[in-house]
Amino acid sequence: MVITLSVINALVFFLISAIHIYWALGGKWGAAYAIPGNMKGQLSFQPGALATLTVAFGLMVFSFLMLTGSGLVSFSPIDRFKDTALYIVSGIFLVRAIGEFRYVGLTKKIRNTAFALLDTRYYTPLCLWLFASILFIAVKN
């Protein structure tokens, strides 16, 4: 079960990382639904290419961590910290799922934007899945 969850999560992180790389290189598909905004259509922030590539790199690291966490891949520098890293990454997705009380997560107040609808339907449930499955992987290690 740990290997299956790890592979699924690694693929999810890899795909989301690839989308971020696409956006950093100037791609437009899906970008309008990736950043929260207010009811007037103003975005809450405008990420640049470097910030987007940083997120892509972090997601790729998470993908690799999933494979080391399951034991499918062994990488000595990470092996010593993988259990702690799994708990930290799990916590990151719990915090993201809870949200920041305005634009994202279960606690968001602004709920009628295109982003908010997708956040309710897909993004927050995905974060809850990642939280629970990564926590499961960490506990089973």
For the stretch 11-60, pLDDT in tens is: 999 999 999 999 999 999 998 899 998 877 787 888 999 999 999 999 99
Sequence ranges of the domains in the chain: 2-140
Q: What b/e string do you get for 68-88 counting C-beta neighbours within 10 Å, with b at 16 or more?
A: bbbeeeeeeebeeebeebbbe
Contact indicator for 70, 7 with CB cutoff of 8 Å: yes
Per-residue pLDDT at 9 exceeds 80: yes
Cα maximum dimension of the chain: 50
Instruction: List the structure tokens of 100.
Output: 């920041």
- For residue 44, the SS3 value is coil
Per residue in 99-133, pLDDT (tens digit) is 999 999 999 999 999 999 999 999 999 999 999 99
- Phi and psi dihedrals of 135, rounded to 5? -60, -40
- Measured torsion, CA atoms of residues 44, 93, 91, 96, in degrees rounded to the nearest 10: 30
Q: Can you tell me the distance from the alpha carbon of 33 to that of 85, in angstroms, rounded to the nearest whole number? A: 29
pLDDT recorded at residue 42:
80
Residue found by looking up tokens 């107040």 in the block:
109
pTM, two decimal places: 0.91
